[in-house]
C-alpha cells in the first residue's frame, strides 16, 4: 500500500512539475507570436504538447499487458476480455501500442485465435497507429481536410497517444472496426475527448470551450485540468503573461493568498487592493482596475 501511494505521489509531482511550464494561449491572441515565444523559451510547452506528453506512458496499463504476455496459453475468452478492459481503461500509451502489436501477432499464431475477431481488430488498430499497411484489415482513410472543416478550432488530432497536426498531417489509415480514444486539441480551448470508431467520430458535433477569454486587464478562465489551473501560465502576448492560479499581484495579501492556494481556493468574491477576483461556477474571472 505504501509503495502504491509513493508511486502515485511521485507521478503527481512529476505531472505538476511538468505543468508548471505549460502556456495557455488566450483566445484572440496572436498565433504567430505564441509559436515564436515557445521557440524562444523551450522550457515551456503548449497546452496540446502537455496533454500529448502525458499520454506517452501509462505504467499500470503497460503492466497489465505484460501480464497477458506472460500467459499466452490462456483461454480465448479470457484474453479477449482482458484486452477489451485494457482498451477501455484509457488511451493506449506508445509502449502499449508497440507491445500490443507484438502480443496480438503472437496470439494470432495460435490455431484457435487465428481468426479471433477481437485480436484481429486489435492487431489492425495498432498497426495503423504504427504506420503499417492495413492490407488485410477493414480500413478507412482519415480525412484531415474534413476534420479541419468540421472543427476549425482543433489544431491536433490525437488517436490513443499518437498526435497528428490537422493542417499538415500526411495520409493515415485506421481500422474501420476498431474503437479508438480520440482527442481534438487546441492551445486555446479545452480538449474534446471521444471514444468510438472513426466513422462515429465524424458524426459528432462538439462544442469547444475557450480556456481564457479577454486581455491582460480583464479576463475569464475556464481550465478543467487542476495541475494547469494551479501552476500553468496564461499567454496574452510576449509582454503579458499571467499565472493561471492567482489574482493580480500588487500587495502582501494577494501574495499570501497565492502562497496558501492549496487550502484557500477562489470561492465567492475576493477583493484585493485595486483588483477583484471572483469565481463563477467553473470559471475564474479577474478584473484589474485602471
How big, in percent rounded to 5, are the helix, strand and coil portions of the chain? 40, 25, 40
Boundary of a domain, candidates 172, 207, 242: 207
Q: Please, where are the H alpha helices in the chain?
A: 2-19, 31-40, 47-54, 59-69, 76-88, 94-107, 117-129, 144-150, 198-201, 226-231, 252-259
Same domain, 180 and 236: no
Q: Is residue 250 part of a domain?
A: yes
**pLDDT tens digits in sequence order for the chain, 290 residues long:** 444 334 334 344 333 433 458 999 999 899 999 999 999 999 999 999 999 999 999 999 999 999 988 888 888 889 989 999 999 989 999 999 999 999 999 999 888 888 889 999 999 999 999 999 998 899 999 999 999 999 999 999 999 999 999 998 778 999 999 999 999 999 999 999 999 999 999 999 999 999 998 888 888 889 888 888 888 999 999 999 999 875 544 444 444 445 555 444 444 333 333 343 333 445 555 555 44
Same domain, 109 and 10: no
Q: Is residue 52 part of a domain?
A: no
* Number of independent structural domains in the chain: 2
Same domain, 161 and 242: no
Give the integer Cα–Cα distance in Å for 47 and 130: 24
For residue 103, what are the domain limits?
A: 58-207
Here the cell at position 252 is: 502582501
Contacts of 194-203 with CB under 8 Å at 24 or more apart are: 198/140, 198/142, 198/174, 199/140, 202/143, 202/146, 202/147, 202/150
Give the integer Cα–Cα distance in Å for 241 and 227: 18
Q: Is residue 241 part of a domain?
A: yes
Q: Is residue 81 part of a domain?
A: yes
Same domain, 74 and 105: yes
Same domain, 181 and 99: yes
Same domain, 66 and 192: yes
Give the integer Cα–Cα distance in Å for 132 and 134: 6
Same domain, 18 and 80: no
Q: Is residue 53 part of a domain?
A: no
pTM of the model: 0.78
Amino acid at each position: 500500500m505504501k509503495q502504491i501511494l509513493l508511486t502515485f505521489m511521485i507521478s503527481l509531482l512529476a505531472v505538476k512539475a511538468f505543468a508548471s511550464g505549460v502556456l495557455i494561449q488566450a483566445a484572440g491572441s496572436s498565433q504567430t507570436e505564441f509559436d515564436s515565444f515557445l521557440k524562444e523559451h523551450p522550457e515551456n510547452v503548449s497546452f496540446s504538447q502537455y496533454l500529448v506528453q502525458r499520454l506517452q506512458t501509462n505504467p499500470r496499463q503497460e503492466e497489465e499487458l505484460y501480464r497477458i504476455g506472460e500467459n499466452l496459453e490462456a483461454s480465448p475468452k479470457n484474453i479477449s476480455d482482458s484486452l477489451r478492459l485494457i482498451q477501455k481503461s484509457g488511451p493506449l500509451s506508445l509502449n502499449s501500442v508497440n507491445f500490443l502489436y507484438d502480443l496480438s501477432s503472437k496470439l494470432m499464431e495460435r490455431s484457435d485465435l487465428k481468426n479471433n475477431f477481437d485480436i484481429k481488430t486489435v492487431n489492425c488498430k495498432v498497426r495503423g497507429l504504427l504506420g503499417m499497411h492495413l492490407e488485410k484489415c477493414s480500413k478507412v482513410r482519415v480525412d484531415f481536410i474534413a476534420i479541419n472543416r468540421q472543427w476549425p478550432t482543433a489544431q491536433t488530432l490525437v488517436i490513443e497517444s499518437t498526435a497528428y497536426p490537422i493542417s499538415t498531417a500526411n495520409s493515415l489509415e485506421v481500422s474501420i472496426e476498431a474503437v479508438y480514444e480520440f482527442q481534438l486539441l487546441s492551445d486555446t480551448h479545452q480538449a474534446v475527448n471521444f471514444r468510438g470508431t472513426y466513422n462515429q467520430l465524424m458524426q459528432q458535433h462538439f462544442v469547444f470551450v475557450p480556456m481564457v477569454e479577454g486581455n491582460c486587464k480583464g479576463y475569464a478562465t475556464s481550465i478543467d485540468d487542476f495541475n494547469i489551473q494551479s501552476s500553468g501560465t496564461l499567454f496574452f502576448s510576449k509582454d503579458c503573461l499571467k499565472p493561471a492560479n492567482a489574482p493580480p499581484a500588487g500587495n502582501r495579501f494577494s501574495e499570501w493568498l497565492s502562497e496558501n492556494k492549496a487550502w484557500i481556493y477562489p470561492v465567492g468574491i475576493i477583493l484585493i487592493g485595486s483588483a477583484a477576483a471572483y469565481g463563477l461556477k467553473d470559471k475564474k474571472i479577474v478584473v484589474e482596475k485602471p
